[in-house]
Amino acid sequence: MPFNTKFIFVTGGVLSSLGKGLAAASIGALLESRGLSVTLQKLDPYINVDPGTMNPFQHGEVFVTDDGSETDLDLGHYERFTNAKLGADNNFTTGKIYYSVITKERRGDYLGGTVQVIPHITDEIKRSIQLAADGVDVVIVEIGGTIGDIESLPFLEAIRQFKTDVGKENVLYIHLTLVPYIATAGEVKTKPTQHSVKELRSIGIQPDILLCRTDRFLSKEIKAKIALFCNVGIDAVITAKDVKCIYECPLLFHKEGLDDKIVELLHIWTRAPRLEAWEEVVQKFMAPKYSVTIAIVGKYVDLTESYKSLNEALYHGGIANDCRVNLTFLDSEKVTPGACAPLLEKADGILVPGGFGSRGIEGKICAATYAREKKVPFFGICLGMQIAVIEFARSAAGLENANSSEFDEKTPYPVIYLMTEWYDEKTATVQKRSASSEKGASMRLGAYPCRVKENSLAFAAYGKTDISERHRHRYEFNNVFQAQLEAHGLVVSGVSPRGDLVEIIEIKDHPWFLGCQFHPEFKSRPMVPHPLFRDFIQAALAYAGKK
């Protein structure tokens, strides 16, 4: 029997980093495995309109969706765990909400009234939640931040009101808290959870289900205590135990009865979940036959959250090859010509990821030289491809001091440069930009088509000529140098449909050396590893002599 769209709100208490995003994604995976259609949405309490301009050190990776939205990294989890197609309507920030209310106010939409947090901001939040709901069975909305923060109050007020608006049978509140084990007392403590729920109830939200993050399974007694103090059923207290592999989360939650409880409380009748594919992923991840070490030469090496999708895509490549992927992060500023060999000799594959700004560029170039000369598998992504082109121009084609005009405006050979005019496939218009164009507006963002040339590593990976991948960059390969670089052994193996934008490069006489202007990591999934990551790991295995 058809039912109204259901809404699940996921909040977090006690402290951040408890894994709210993964919990929301896992709920999505479980509901999909029961045959329901889902979408997910993140509401972030900060004032930036989107995370595009934020420092990855502060906020972690910026995840890019097909429609070119720059979003919170939790959307990456959502896409990896479910089949939901996400875009601009799946991530709202306080800034985006206020921006839209203020724009309406200026337009005169409020007819001379006083514009206030309640109801104008809260109405705008509720409208944004409804935007994501189109045509799906269940919308899972994650509220960023921690209960008790001032910033998230309008969001919480909006989701409180939401239940009255759409009917109580259509809304569920799930709260994630911490149940720490205190070694000196020899027991787990429920007080932080009690306090967090008390805080939530003081703003009018009674959680229906509690996810308790802990390092051990909670006993019946502990669950009973939490249930009593927090006013939920004992079967609504779910252990969210630490896991070795994030893809175990849906399985663990299922064993704890989470999806049964959700469908019961939302009055949805579904088939039993099919979780075989998840079991297979976890089993392959936990007990692989082989192992390789991949060196990632980048800038944000201390905060691996900055490379979330990249790390996951590499693990997926491992799953496809029955192989554990050990990641070593190398600070590109430390990779100097003298230090290159000792730092990189243990690597079975070298990867230079995306990035902005000139810091550490020469180290990345050194790593590319090492990979090219020593025939170590090399994968350059976005900035990494640009690095590979600069390196090749300098070392193989003799273009001394070749560079990207991003790093050296006066370089005699700007092999990577700011294309001032280009045909945009997405909008089917000619786009113009200059060095002074507004930062946010001048990027090539989101999905663009690419034509792969046959007889290439790229074609061997994708097995087809027409592909689409996601972009986030300003600078491009400079076609003026294409013939000259090709004459020395560079292969342009992927271009835009009109042929004017170079999307993939390779080099001859190397087992696996590939750079792409796009970010393939955004589209890799545990069950469908991205072909380029699969083949890169396979090449690394071959290099290590293990296959």
Nearer Cβ to ligand GLN (291/442): 442
Return the range that interacts with ligand GLN (CB under 6 A); candidates 111-119, 188-196, 254-262, 353-361.
353-361
382 near ligand GLN, rule: CB under 6 A: yes
**CA–CA dist 253, 275 (Å, integer):** 12
Whether 438 is catalytic: no
448 near ligand GLN, rule: CB under 6 A: no
Whether 267 is catalytic: no
230, 323, 366, 382: the catalytic one is: 382
The three-point CA angle 226-231-235 to 5° equals 65
Return the range that interacts with ligand GLN (CB under 6 A); candidates 259-267, 350-358, 390-398, 486-494.
350-358
Minimum Å gap between C-beta 330 and ligand GLN is 17
**CA–CA dist 42, 21 (Å, integer):** 9
Among 406, 469, 506, 521, binds ligand GLN (CB under 6 A): 406
Minimum Å gap between C-beta 406 and ligand GLN is 5
Among 474, 488, 525, 547, binds ligand GLN (CB under 6 A): 474
Q: Give the residue from 300, 328, 327, 303 showing the smallest Cα distance to 314.
A: 327
Minimum Å gap between C-beta 142 and ligand GLN is 26
Near ligand GLN in 139-168, by CB under 6 A: none
Sequence-ordered alpha helix ranges (H) in 45-118: 56-59, 74-81, 94-107
Fill in the per-residue mask, 355 to 374: x = in contact with ligand GLN (CB under 6 A), - = not in contact: xx------------------
Nearer Cβ to ligand GLN (28/446): 446
**CA–CA dist 443, 431 (Å, integer):** 11
120, 316, 510, 519: the catalytic one is: 519
Nearer Cβ to ligand GLN (174/313): 313
Among 154, 250, 354, 380, binds ligand GLN (CB under 6 A): 354
Cβ contacts of 493 within 8 Å, gap of 6 or more: 452, 453, 456, 457, 458, 459, 504, 505, 506, 514
Minimum Å gap between C-beta 475 and ligand GLN is 3
Residue type, 489: G
Among 132, 383, 389, 457, binds ligand GLN (CB under 6 A): 383
Return the range that interacts with ligand GLN (CB under 6 A); candidates 25-33, 145-153, 172-180, 352-360.
352-360
Q: Could you tell me the two tokens for 8?
A: 């699940």
Q: Cα dist. 263→5, 9, 71, 142, 276 in Å?
A: 13, 14, 29, 18, 20
Q: What secondary structure, in 3-state letters, does 418-456 show?
A: CCCEEEECCCCEEEECCCCCCCHHHCEEEEEEEEECCCC
Return the range that interacts with ligand GLN (CB under 6 A); candidates 204-212, 260-268, 294-302, 349-357.
349-357
For residue 450, list its beta bridge partners.
Answer: 467
Minimum Å gap between C-beta 525 and ligand GLN is 21
Residue 119, preceding peptide bond in cis (omega within 30° of 0)? yes
Minimum Å gap between C-beta 473 and ligand GLN is 3
Identify whether the C-beta of residue 150 lies closer than 8 Å to the C-beta of residue 117.
no
Nearer Cβ to ligand GLN (266/418): 418
Fill in the per-residue mask, 7 to 26: x = in contact with ligand GLN (CB under 6 A), - = not in contact: --------------------
Pairing relationship of beta strands 290-298 and 323-331 according to DSSP bridges: parallel
Whether 521 is catalytic: yes
Q: How far is Cα of residue 212 from the mean position of the Cα atoms in its chain? A: 24
Identify whether the C-beta of residue 495 lies closer than 8 Å to the C-beta of residue 407.
no
Among 126, 473, 510, 523, binds ligand GLN (CB under 6 A): 473
**CA–CA dist 91, 83 (Å, integer):** 17
417 near ligand GLN, rule: CB under 6 A: no
SS3 330: strand
Among 472, 510, 523, 530, binds ligand GLN (CB under 6 A): 472
**CA–CA dist 349, 292 (Å, integer):** 8
Q: Cα dist. 179→126, 146, 239 in Å?
A: 31, 15, 9
Return the range that interacts with ligand GLN (CB under 6 A); candidates 206-214, 283-291, 325-333, 469-477.
469-477
**CA–CA dist 384, 378 (Å, integer):** 10
Size of the site for ligand GLN (CB under 6 A): 10
For residue 140, list its beta bridge partners.
Answer: 8, 40
Identify whether the C-beta of residue 205 lies closer than 8 Å to the C-beta of residue 160.
yes
Nearer Cβ to ligand GLN (42/473): 473
Identify whether the C-beta of residue 198 lies closer than 8 Å to the C-beta of residue 296.
no
120, 142, 521, 530: the catalytic one is: 521
Identify whether the C-beta of residue 238 lies closer than 8 Å to the C-beta of residue 258.
yes
Give me the active site residues, please: 382, 519, 521
The footprint of ligand GLN (CB under 6 A) covers: 354-356, 382-383, 406, 472-475
